[in-house]
Amino acid sequence: MMKFLNRFKKPKVTFWTKEVGLTDIAPIKEHIKFIPDWYRRMRTYVYSDSKDKEVERKAKEIFLDPTIPSWKKTDNKELATVRKCPALKDWFRTGYVIPLWTDVDLETDGKEWKWNTPTDRFTIERHQDDQLLSHLTDKEREASGIQNVWKFMCPWRLKTPPGYSVYQVPMMWDFQHHDKFSVLPGIIDTDIHHEINQQVVVYKQGLIKLKRGMPLVMYIPFKRENYDFEVVNETPELAKDDQKDVLNIFSKFPGKSKVSAYEEQQLKCPVNKINKEIKF
What tens digit of pLDDT does each residue of 62-100 get? 656 666 555 455 554 566 778 878 888 899 999 999 999
3 state DSSP class of 104: strand
Handedness of CA 218, 222, 224, 227 (dihedral sign): negative
Contact 152, 9 (CB under 8 A): no
Confidence (pLDDT) at 81: 79
Q: How far is Cα 7 from Cα 29, in angstroms, rounded to an integer?
A: 26
Q: Is 74 contained in some domain? A: no
Averaged confidence pLDDT in the chain: 82
Residue at 232 is within a domain: no
- Judge contact between 146 and 138, C-beta under 8 A: no
- C-alpha dihedral, 241 to 247 to 248 to 250, nearest 10°: 150
pTM of the model: 0.79
Q: What is the pLDDT of residue 44?
A: 77
- pLDDT tens across 207-246, in order? 999 999 999 999 999 999 999 999 999 999 999 998 888 7
Largest pairwise CA distance in the chain: 66
Residue 12 lies in a domain: yes
Across the range 251-278, mean pLDDT stands at 48
Looking at the domain assignment, is residue 233 inside a domain? Answer: no
The confidence score (pLDDT) of residue 128 equals 86
Give percent above pLDDT 70 in the chain: 74
Q: Is 90 exposed, middle or buried (0-12, 13-18, 19+ CB in 10 A)?
A: middle
Name the pairing type of β-strands 29-30 and 96-99: antiparallel
Cα distances (angstroms) measured from residue 38 to each of 83, 120, 143, 163, 273: 10, 35, 28, 37, 27
Indicate if the pLDDT at residue 185 is higher than 60.
yes
Q: How far apart (Å, rounded) are the C-alpha atoms in residues 153 and 198?
A: 7
Cα separation, 104 vs 170, in Å, equals 18
Question: Tell me, what's the pLDDT at 42?
Answer: 83
- The span from the CA of 115 to the CA of 207, in Å, is 9
Between the alpha carbon of residue 54 and those of residues 61, 74, 129, 208, 233, the distances in Å are 11, 18, 58, 46, 48
Cα(85)–Cα(80) distance, integer angstroms: 8
Please indicate, yes or no, if residue 61 is contained in any of the structural domains.
Answer: no
Segments forming the whole domain that contains residue 161: 2-36+95-223
pLDDT of residue 139: 94
Q: What is the number of structural domains in the chain? A: 1
DSSP, res 278:
S
CATH for 154: 2.70.40.10
Q: Which residues contact 267 (CB under 8 A, 6 or more apart)?
A: 259, 274
> Quick check: 184 and 199 in contact, CB under 8 A?
yes
DSSP labels for 153-204?
Answer: --SEEEE--TTEEEEEEE-TT-GGGTTTEEEPPEEE-TTT--B--EEEEE--
Distance (Å, rounded) from C-alpha 58 to C-alpha 73?
11
- Residue 280 domain flag: no
Whether 118 is in a domain gets the answer: yes
The reply to whether 243 falls in a domain is no
